[in-house]
Structure 1
Amino acid sequence: MRTTIDGSIFPVLRVMLEAGERLVAETGELAWKTPNVTLSTTTTGAGMGGLFGAVRRSLAGGGLFMTEFTAEQTSGLVAFATRLPGHILEHQLGGGRAMLVHRHGFLCATPGVTLDLAMQRSLGAGIFGGDGFRLQRVAGHGTFWSMLGGEIIPHDLAPGEVVDVHPGLVGMFEDTVSFDVTMLPGIRNKLFGDNGFFMARLTGPGRVWLQTLTMPGLAHALSPYMGGEKATAAAEGSLVGAALSGLLRQVR
């Protein structure tokens, strides 16, 4: 198996499978492939068997079904693309090591890697952690690839070292890191700071990968330009919007 990650803000993972080699991914992630790579959709992918296992994986942000790619007779290519600006990262698992990834962060993996629901250690993290409530636990033996949004900032926490992060910007962390939620201090900060009420508190030891962009954050940034009177006002306030408005007036 040979892999390359190409591109910049919208990268693509290309995997060259040798004859008989397999790769498992969530459904809908395929970008392109060669004809000799076959697809098999199943509920038992990523180490989770049966209906209960598929439901647990779905609750973690995955799907009820997984797609298994196999190179038949000769080597073949399969490629996966990101859904938003960001990065694709490669990780090695083994020796009991596990990763906790945000609910849309798992891209694909080799056989031997398991994908499961990771319940939080504390009730507060589950109730107020936002996307952190439904983390994916990736474990087993092999290689997996994650998709994180925006720029990726790795941060190594020493034992007992703490960092507070906006919950949506926690991309991934090792299972040695504890995850909890803390409330922002001060009434003014809560009501007028526009930072939300809660922060994710990550405590070492272990590595965390922080992301600078999330799908809800991107949708929020684009919402003024997508339909309605607010979108029209925002568009007309820009040079492109003004030009379009002028063109429409001429047509009328």
Structure 2
Amino acid sequence: MQHEIIGTTMPVLSISLAKGESVVAVSGELSWMTSSIQMNTTTNAAGGGGFFGAIKRAVGGGSLFMTEYRAEGDHGVVAFATKLPGHIVPIELSGDKTYMIHRHGYLCGTPGVELGVGFQQSLGAGVFGGSGFVMQKMAGTGSAWIELGGEIVTYDLAAGETLRVHPGHVGMFEGNVKFEITRIKGIANMLFGGDGVFLAALTGPGRVWLQTLTVSNLAHAIIPYLPAKG
């Protein structure tokens, strides 16, 4: 299996599969594929473990059904494009490390990669579309590719070192990083600071990947240009 990330602003992940090799993606991620690639949509892929495992994966931000793309009869190519301007980050999992990724960050991975709920907290109406804050837990063995919005800034936090981040900018972090949602201190800061009410506190040791483009900021930027109803 070989992969290539093509492009810059709106990259696409192109994966070349030898006969019998496969990758698993969230339903609806496919951009294009060659004729030798066969699709199989199921709830059991990506560590689904049956219907209840699939429900757990869906709550974490994935999809109830996952699609396996397998090269049958000959080698083939399957491609997945990003949904927003940003970057695609390849991750290798060896079974001894877990990752937490933002709820729509998983693009695809090999069959040994497992997805589930890593963190879930309700932050009230109007925050993240009223759906609260959710992180996916990624574990297992194999290769995975993660989609992050905008530019990527990484920090290697030392033990006990804490970074406070607007939750929407948290793209991914290693599983040993301690994560909690905190309130901004001060009534004036909360009401008039314009930075929201909550911050994510990430405490090392471990690596953190931050994304500069968030879906909520993008939506806020284009709202003035949308046609008015009626």
Length-normalised TM-score, structure 2: 0.94
Three-state SS of the structure 2 residue aligned to 1:207 is strand
Give the number of the structure whose residues are more often helix, by fraction: 1
Q: Report matched runs for 1:78-157 at 5 Å.
A: 78-119=78-119, 126-128=121-123, 133-157=133-157
Q: Deviations over 1:6-62 (max 9, x none)?
A: 101100000000000011000000000001100000000101121101111110111
Q: Determine if contact 2:92/2:142 at 8 Å carries over to the other structure.
A: yes
Three-state SS of the structure 2 residue aligned to 1:70 is strand
Q: What letter corresponds to residue 92 of structure 2 in structure 1?
A: Q
Unaligned runs of 5+ in 1: 121-125, 230-252
Q: Percent identity?
A: 53
Q: Determine if contact 1:89/1:146 at 8 Å carries over to the other structure.
A: yes
1:232 alignment counterpart = none
Q: Determine if contact 1:128/1:181 at 8 Å carries over to the other structure.
A: no
Residue 158 (structure 1) aligned with residue 153 (structure 2)? no
Q: Determine if contact 2:95/2:139 at 8 Å carries over to the other structure.
A: no
Q: What letter corresponds to residue 228 of structure 1 in structure 2?
A: A
Q: CA deviation at 1:133?
A: 3.2
Give the number of the structure whose residues are more often strand, by fraction: 2
Q: CA deviation at 1:128?
A: 3.3
Q: Which runs of 4+ in 1 moved over 4 A?
A: 129-132
Q: What is the root-mean-square deviation in Å for CA atoms of aligned residues? A: 1.5
Three-state SS of the structure 2 residue aligned to 1:228 is coil
Residue 13 (structure 1) aligned with residue 13 (structure 2)? yes
- What is the number of residues matched between the two proteins? 224
Q: Equivalents in 1 of 2:10, 2:123: separation in Å?
A: 31
Q: CA deviation at 1:117?
A: 1.1
Q: Equivalents in 2 of 1:176, 1:54: separation in Å?
A: 25
Length-normalised TM-score, structure 1: 0.86
Residue 193 (structure 1) aligned with residue 188 (structure 2)? no
Q: Equivalents in 2 of 1:134, 1:215: separation in Å?
A: 14
Deviates most, 67-76 or 45-54: 45-54
> For the structure 1 residues 38 and 62, does the alpha-carbon distance in structure 2 shift closer, same or farther, using more than 3 Å as the test?
same
Q: CA deviation at 1:119?
A: 3.2
Q: Which has the larger radius of gyration?
A: 1
Q: What letter corresponds to residue 178 of structure 2 in structure 1?
A: S
Q: CA deviation at 1:190?
A: 1.0
Q: Equivalents in 2 of 1:215, 1:224: separation in Å?
A: 16
Q: Equivalents in 1 of 2:103, 2:182: separation in Å?
A: 21
Q: Equivalents in 2 of 1:179, 1:119: separation in Å?
A: 9
Q: Equivalents in 2 of 1:164, 1:181: separation in Å?
A: 9
Q: Equivalents in 2 of 1:119, 1:52: separation in Å?
A: 17
Q: CA deviation at 1:206?
A: 0.3
Unaligned runs of 5+ in 2: none
Q: CA deviation at 1:181?
A: 1.6
Three-state SS of the structure 2 residue aligned to 1:168 is helix
Q: CA deviation at 1:214?
A: 1.4
Q: Deviations over 1:145-176 (max 9, x none)?
A: 00000000011100000000000100000000
Residue 30 (structure 1) aligned with residue 30 (structure 2)? yes
Q: Equivalents in 2 of 1:47, 1:181: separation in Å?
A: 27
